[in-house]
Amino acid sequence: MKISESHIITAIKGYLVGAANVVPGVSGGTFALITGIYQQLIDALNSILSVKTWKLFFTGKFKEFWKAVDGPFLLAFAFGVVVSIFSLAKLITYTLAHYPVETWALFFGLILASSWYMFKDLRPIGWKGVLLVLAGAALGVVICTLSPASTPDNWWFLFLCGAIAICSMILPGISGSLILVLMCKYDFVMQAVSDLNIPVLLVFASGMLIGILAFSKFLHWLLARWERPTMLVLLGFVLGSLVKVWPWSNPEAIRASQGLAEGAAYNPHIVQAIIWCLVGIGAVILIELFASKQKKTEK
Pairwise CA distance, residues 115 & 174, whole Å: 9
pLDDT given at position 295 = 59
Show me where the domains of the chain are located. Answer: 5-298
Query: Residue 51 — very low, low, confident or very high, per pLDDT cuts 50/70/90?
Result: confident
- Rounded mean pLDDT of the chain? 83
Q: What is the mean pLDDT of residues 90-96?
A: 85
Q: Is 257 exposed, middle or buried (0-12, 13-18, 19+ CB in 10 A)?
A: buried
CA separation for the pair 110, 91 (Å, rounded):
17
pTM to 2 decimals? Answer: 0.69
The proportion of the chain whose per-residue pLDDT surpasses 90, expressed as a percent, equals 15
Residue 224 has pLDDT above 60, yes or no: yes
